[in-house]
Amino acid sequence: MLGSTPLRMAVAFVLMWGWAVLATRIHPMPAPMIAVPTQGALSAALTAGLKRGVEALSRHIGGSLLPALAALAASATLLVAAHLVAGTPESAATVAMPLAVSGSYVLLFSYLNDRRRA
């Protein structure tokens, strides 16, 4: 159960939802409520997609660094674009933590995946 994708998605939603609240706390309500569902939904979706994306890219282009960097670039683009479109206050602060977490995860996963295949 702890290794299930739906559970990981739920944990990502809750943790990054909380981060969005903290990152936008200096703004009066309801402005922070723009960031909360946006970041929660993005984090859940990225949690499901990053692993699959890295695995697919690794099969096609090999190695560990290039697939991880491609997935990280896609993640950054999606996060920034979604928050800009949503009008999230403090977009940079809201995106910083999820991007750092997903970047660390995808680099480590890609490295371990590459070693396992070797």
In whole angstroms, what is the distance from residue 4 CA to residue 67 CA?
A: 23
Per-residue model confidence (pLDDT) at position 80: 92
Tens-digit pLDDT profile for residues 13-23: 888 888 888 88
Tens-digit pLDDT profile for residues 45-73: 888 888 888 888 888 887 778 888 888 89
Helix (DSSP H) and strand (DSSP E) numbers for the chain: 4, 0
Both tokens of 2, joined, read 């702890």
Per-residue model confidence (pLDDT) at position 77: 93
Tell me whether residue 59 is exposed, middle or buried, using C-beta atoms within 10 angstroms of its C-beta: 0 to 12, 13 to 18, 19 or more: exposed
Work out the percent of the chain whose per-residue pLDDT is above 70: 97
Q: How does residue 118 score in pLDDT terms, banded at 50, 70 and 90?
A: low
Question: How many other C-beta atoms are found inside a 10 Å radius of the C-beta of residue 86?
Answer: 16
